[in-house]
Amino acid sequence: MNSLAPMGHNNPPDPIDDICARFEDARMEAEHWLDGSPVENEGQMRDVDSLRKAMREWRIALEAGQKSATAPLYDAYKVELARWKPTIEDAKRIEDCLVAAVNGFKQRLAAAKAEAERKASAEAEAAARAAREAAMAAEASNIEAQRAAAEAQRQAEEAAARAAAASKDTVKGLRTVTRYEITDHRDALHDIARNDRDAVTAFVEDYVRRHHKARPIAGVRVWTEKEAF
């Protein structure tokens, strides 16, 4: 009678485990060295350099294994992206064309509605003012004056209602976009330096990081030194 095989015996070996197994002794030795004590002599330096080389080989082997394992998945991902992309782009292209086709009319309509709102608001203010003046001028015992004041108040209320309706009568599908134009780069730079020094500092530091080897930069000291790698 055969003994029962352990659970999972049919599973393929894990490439991570296989790669790690090849470098396990070097890994354990490296951890033994990493107790916080610095290297103090050439013998220790040679030992550490040898272990560092082994750990680099371990890392490179893992990266190669990762690439091998993920390549089919990534290739399938790229194929599926490419399959959907043209149709998505065409749908967006049609959408953008429709927006462009209606943009001019919507802008003109929005301008007309804004003007109508302005006029309605002005009329409401004038009617409210007239109603206040009529109420103040009407004698309490003069029925015709009281009727005129009441009529002025009614007209003011109607004008206010029209103004409120005009303010809600907007064009759908329009948004407010803030645009800008730099008219003087020097003035803009000086303004930023005065009001947002951190932004200028971040730009200078990034520029120096990218260009300090290419040319001398005033106010920047560049030097070389040796370091382990």
Nearest 5 degrees, angle CA 7-CA 8-CA 11? 165
Ranges of the chain with pLDDT below 50: 1-5, 7-8
Q: Residue ranges of the domains in the chain?
A: 15-168, 183-216
Mind listing the pLDDT tens digit for each residue in 183-199?
A: 999 999 999 999 999 99
Q: What are phi and psi of 94, to 5 degrees?
A: -65, -45
- The CA distance from 140 to 145, in Å, is 8
pTM: 0.60
pLDDT value at position 10? 61
Which residue is associated with the tokens 């260009």?
211
- Residue 120 CB burial class (10 angstroms; 0-12, 13-18, ≥19): buried
pLDDT value at position 2? 44
pLDDT value at position 130? 86
